[in-house]
Amino acid sequence: MNNSPPTVFVLEDSDLDFELQTLAIRELVPEARIVRASDCCNAPKSFEEIQPSLIVIDVDLPSCNGLAFLEKMRKSQSVSAPVVVFSTSTDASNESRALSAGADQYCVKPVAAAAYLQAVRSFASPYLAVGG
């Protein structure tokens, strides 16, 4: 167990979304390290270096599908970090695909910003307990 601040990897193309997510995570853990990729193509090939405590993946991305990224990631790497798929899609098939690809949770992005912050806090907090 190290005491270094937790790292969250976020795959998210929307700057505003990323800003809100950062806001919510920093509310929980102000010193948290947040690594962002705005598309699959600039996501790291390996999470060896980052060692994230939580991975947050959006589904609709400019050049790829977040779920496909998740499936590939779970197959090729032994990343044990928990994954939350965070999307605007209410489509039930996306949720079941995410869970079967190895996501720990599927969360729909609330429209209202306050609710959005609350949603991020509630799915992130279990994994970002300070000192955890």
Partner 1 sequence: MIRSDASESVVDTTNCDREPIHLPGAIQPHGCLLAFSLKARTLTHWSSHADQWLGVAPRGGESLAEFFTPTAVARLTALADDRPGIVHPLGGPILRTGAPRQAADAAAHVWSDALIVELEEGPPDGRGLAPDNLSLPRRLSLANQHFQASSTPDGLYDAIVREVREISGYDRVMLYRFLKGGHGAVVGEAVDPRFGSFLGLHYPATDIPQQARQLYVLNPIRSIADVNAEPVVLRSVNPLSSPPLDLSFSAFRAVSPIHVEYLQNMGVAASMSISLVIDGELWGLIACHHYSPRVLTFDRRAACEMLGTLAGPYLTTRLDSEAGKLQATRRSLLTEVMHDVASRPDFRDGLRDRAPQLRRVLDADGVVFCRRHDSLPFGQTPSETVVRAIEKRLADHPDAVWSTDVLGEEFPDLAEDLSGVAGCLAVATEASDLSAVIFFRGEYAREVRWAGEPTKVETPTAEGGRLSPRHSFAEWRDTVRGQSIEWSASDLVLASEVRLALIELLSRRAANIARLNDELSRINSDLSSFAYAASHDLREPLRGLNQAIFLLRRELHPAPTPQLEDRLVAIEQLAGRMDDLVGGLLRLARAGSSDLQYDHFQLDEVAREAAEMVLGRPIRSDVDLQIQEGVPVSGDFLCVRELLTNLIDNAIKYNRSDRIAVSIGVEEAANHSAGAGRGAMVFVVEDNGIGIAPELQKDVFQIFRRLHLPGEFGGGTGAGLAIAKKVVERHGGRIWIESGSDGGSKLLFTLSPNPTEDEEIE
The distance of closest approach from Cβ of residue 107 to partner 1 in the complex, given in angstroms and rounded to an integer, is 15
Q: DSSP alpha helices (H): ranges in 13-106?
A: 15-28, 66-76, 92-100
The distance of closest approach from Cβ of residue 14 to partner 1 in the complex, given in angstroms and rounded to an integer, is 7
Q: Which is nearer to partner 1, 17 or 95 (CB)?
A: 17
Q: Which is nearer to partner 1, 11 or 81 (CB)?
A: 11
Can you tell me the distance from the alpha carbon of 131 to that of 128, in angstroms, rounded to the nearest whole number?
A: 8
The distance of closest approach from Cβ of residue 87 to partner 1 in the complex, given in angstroms and rounded to an integer, is 11
Can you tell me the distance from the alpha carbon of 11 to that of 18, in angstroms, rounded to the nearest whole number?
A: 9
Q: Which residues bind partner 1 (CB under 8 A)?
A: 14, 16-17, 19-20, 88, 109, 111-114, 116
